[in-house]
Chain A
Amino acid sequence: MNATNQTLLARASAKLGPQVSIAIGLLVLAVLVAMPLLHLLPADNALHVSAYTLTLVGKILCYCIVALALDLVWGYAGLLSLGHGLFFALGGYAMGMYLMREAAGDGLPAFMSFLAWTELPWYWYGTDNFLWAMCLVVLAPGLLALVFGFFAFRSRIKGVYFSIMTQALTFAGMLLFFRNETGFGGNNGFTNFRTILGFDITSAHTRAVLFLATVLLLVASLYLGWTLARSKFGRVLTALRDAENRLMFCGYDPRGYKLFIWVLSAVLCGLAGALYVPQVGIINPSEMSPTNSIEAAVWVALGGRGTLIGPLLGAGLVNGMKSWFTVAFPEYWLFALGFLFIVVTLFLPKGVIGLLRKKGEQ
């Protein structure tokens, strides 16, 4: 790597001691790979990992991918999206459509028979084909992000305006999916999945494979983020975040750059959603609620935006806390989350990673 091309980020993380970081990273990766394998052990084995734990960690890993995707647009390009839950849910719904068709066999999905529909709506055609469903996982969030981003960036909506527009977008999406007539199961969304590609969705092997796929996607997203952050593209994004006008007078068209990272981020979210649904076993419109999306922002903020590891750390911490709180003190989780928002913005502008680095420097 050319020393002059090093980003600030890389330089700063170097101070933490690259060996230590790499060692921790490999350890975490090893644990993540081991978990699904241990799940395959018989239940009475001392090392057995329960389906509950596996699902929980798998879910959090999906959230980590969302956090990373959000960080790419917020931390690097300075666009705070409060609507990433929409892209996540769209990916999830695309996967859900396939799973519903699989569960329904030759008939209509259960909720449609319930509504006395006799025919599949046009957008359901071909969703029994796994490959087409996977295309939809990418296309649905990708195209929506493309269209929205095209108009938003064209009219130079940025800063809080952009955030509020994205929030309104996911809110509108939620309202739309709540309707029965939209054809996505209304309130209840999709659930009662049976098989995926013919395999029982609740079997230990399927779970293990889905979990590994999630780990793989996470590692791939990390690698992608790392490559982007090191490339000239990443530096242009940073420049864009700090001085968009200057960048334009340098001859760069910010729209293309924003649109690229925005769509990429949306697609990553969609993929995460697609892996989330078969693991958790349900998708419904509440995934699109503005609260979910804004919670993702606090994952990133807590971990440290503009870094690659920070969002993962943040997503893990917040969701771990959430799992513990909602069992131990369900009443107080929202208080804790609220205080987290305030504390992070007031006292941890660079997140946990920033804190660790400061410690490392001292």
Chain B
Amino acid sequence: MPTALYRFLLSLVLLLPVIAHAGDASDFAAASSSQQAALLERWSAEPDAARLPLLEALQQGRVAADSNKAAFIETDGVYQPADGTAAAAEAPRKLRLNNRLRGLIATAVASHQLLAEDPALRLAAAQQLQKSAKPEQLALLNARVAAEEDDGVRDALSLALANLQLVDNDPAVRLAAVRLLGETGDPLARTRLESLLDPGVESDATVRTAAETSLAQVKRKLLIGELLGQAFSGLSLGSILLLAALGLAITFGLLGVINMAHGEMLMLGAYSTYMVQVLFQRFAPEALALYPLVALPVAFFVTAAIGMALERTVIRHLYGRPLETLLATWGISLILIQLVRVLFGAQNVEVANPYWLSGGIQVLPNLVLPYNRIVIIGFALFVVVLTWLLLNKTRLGLNVRAVTQNRNMAACCGVPTGRVDMLAFGLGSGIAGLGGVALSQIGNVGPDLGQSYIIDSFLVVVLGGVGQLAGSVMAAFGLGIANKILEPQIGAVLGKILILALIILFIQKRPQGLFALKGRVID
């Protein structure tokens, strides 16, 4: 290997064409895939800071080669020679990588990043190596553990090391490694430890016993993550149910209108989001990331307008006949679904998360909280507060409550009951539209979107007690969490059925729902 010239431009790595180690890139480009694997393994064991740009380029699929097997790195569409040699003979072609190589590259990048200045980078690298370190890296890891100054990184490195030491020849080393693994909450540690329980794999009885203890420890730690994960998905499901049920709580709870087309309002909200996204893509691609924010008011007004139109044309004539309302609104829902099918096709349409809604926070090794779900939980609460304020602190809210309690008296006091009905129905539908925006960010958007939520939303309203916002909130989160706790135990379907049975039993005890006003009922 010829002596190398290093040009190390740390801050400009991604912006400037990078000339890496003179030979590595070309060696790699010229090698067969098994040789490439061997190269990568060697590089992982002996990291060299200068090789990092090449590895990163490999990881991002930016490395190409011409017919002379000279390597090039592509940056913003421009190919630069990777080893500082002559320009390409002809247009270089990107190197093809298989999955095994990609895994090896990730490992190699991590072991190179162990040398990085930034402790956060080193920590991430160490965590990567916990998953993928190879026995060849044993010496490297040993050296890094000794040299590492940051405590967090050192702990992470020791774990990565312990993973490798599980197959050490010395039982004492294995024992220490097993004990160390017991302190992690890593799902991988569990599988590793479980395999050690087999006498065929681990011959030493002491190590096996220690593995058992460690396994119990790991499982306990994992359990916490699992429980938190279930609680979080429960909250997330609850917030979705809440968004779906909140509009219903207004139209059903306050106006007494059974709107079976409520689910379709969710669906229309999601399709509005899709339309906004399409318009952004066409006319303002640079601001695409902001489309969900614009979609919120659009979805609200679209669904509110449709809701008000329905109220004026159909539902108005059916007040006081709940069962007929139920059937008529079911008819409306059929028409809306079919209309969307005709306009947008029966297939799901694609609504993509903007970058700030994708990804998540890694809280525990087995617990990632996705940003979109976090945002939706917050959004649901925000909508609840807004609705509460609207109903309790504004003139419209006062009018709605007045009409709810005594329509005739309200009319006598000069409340325009017809207009109030229309606005309240519009509000309920608009909130469903907002729910649709949220749903579009976490699930498929198709014509049948609303159908899957309508029954659950009604259960929320029934369970929460009609006309009670607080009850709806409690019921939505309660149902969400109960669902997610039952799901892993008995499966999603049986869980749903069990919940239905529980609701029926619950209603035996509290026929009016969670938050019922007792009172003298005159009929």
A and B directly contacting (CB within 8 A): yes
- Taking a contact as CB atoms under 8 Å apart, the answer to whether A341 and B507 are in contact is no
Residues A349 and B335 in contact, CB atoms below 8 Å apart: no
Given A152-B504, A335-B338, also A345-B328 (CB < 8 A): yes
Residues on the B chain within 8 Å of A301, using CB: 324, 327
| Chain B residues, Cβ within 8 Å of A169 | 500
Measured in the bound complex, the distance between the Cα atoms of B324 and A345 in whole Å is 6
Q: Which residues of B contact A161 (CB under 8 A)?
A: 462
Given the contacts A80-B326, A160-B322, A168-B455, A341 and B511 also touching, CB distance less than 8 Å: no
Report the interface size for chain A: residues with CB under 8 A from the other chain. 44
Which residues of chain A from 137 to 186 have any CB-CB distance to chain B below 8 Å in the complex? 148, 151-152, 154-157, 159-161, 163-165, 167-169, 171-172, 175-176, 178-179
Identify which of A6-14, A93-101, A271-279, A290-298 touches chain B: A290-298
Closest to B522 in A: A245
Output the least CB separation between B329 and chain A (Å). 8
Inter-chain contact B493/A340, CB cutoff 8 Å: no
Whether A117 sits at the interface, judged by CB under 8 Å, is no
Q: A171-B455, A334-B338, A341-B328 are in contact. Are A157 and B323 (CB under 8 A)?
A: no
How many Å lie between the Cα of A91 and that of B323 in the bound state?
Answer: 27
Max count, chain B CB within 10 A of own CB: residue among A157, A172, A176, A179: A172
- Which chain A residue lies CB-closest to B509? A155
**Neighbouring B residues of A165 by C-beta, 8 Å:** 462, 504
**A154 with B508, Cβ < 8 A, contacts A345-B318, A346-B317 known:** yes
- Asked if A160 contacts B323 (CB within 8 A), the reply is yes
User: Quick one: closest A residue to B499, CB to CB?
Assistant: A172
Interface residues of A in 316-351 (CB under 8 A from B): 331-332, 334-335, 337-342, 344-346, 349
**B459 and A342: CB pair below 8 A?**
no
Q: Is B496 an interface residue (CB 8 A)?
A: yes
Chain B nearest CB: distance from A340 CB in Å?
7
Q: How many contacts A-B (CB < 8 Å)?
A: 104
Docked CA distance A163–B260 (Å): 12
Question: Are B314 and A163 interface neighbours, CB within 8 A?
Answer: no
In this complex, the interface size class of chain B, counting residues with CB under 8 Å from chain A, is 35 or more
What is the CA–CA distance of A169 and B337 in the complex, to the nearest angstrom? Answer: 23
- Roughly how many angstroms separate A298 CA and B334 CA in the complex, as a whole number? 13
* Residues of chain B within 8 A of A290, CB atoms compared: 455
A49 to B466, CA, bound (A): 54
- Which of A80, A155, A168, A349 meets B511, CB within 8 Å? A155
State in angstroms the CA–CA spacing of A32 and B462 once bound together: 45
Asked if B327 and A341 sit within 8 Å, CB to CB, the answer is: yes
B508 contacts A155, C-beta separation under 8 Å = yes
- A172 / chain B contacts, CB cutoff of 8 Å: 496-497, 500
Beta-carbon contact of B327 and A297 below 8 Å: yes
Using CB atoms and an 8 Å cutoff, list the residues of chain A in contact with chain B: 74, 80, 148, 151-152, 154-157, 159-161, 163-165, 167-169, 171-172, 175-176, 178-179, 245, 290, 294, 297-298, 301, 331-332, 334-335, 337-342, 344-346, 349
Known: A160-B322, A297-B327, A337-B331. 17 other contacts (CB 8 A): A80-B326, A151-B504, A160-B326, A167-B455, A172-B496, A175-B496, A245-B523, A334-B335, A334-B337, A338-B331, A338-B333, A338-B338, A341-B328, A341-B334, A342-B314, A346-B317, A346-B328
Q: List 8 A-B contacts (CB under 8 A).
A: A151-B505, A164-B458, A176-B493, A294-B330, A338-B338, A340-B331, A346-B317, A346-B328
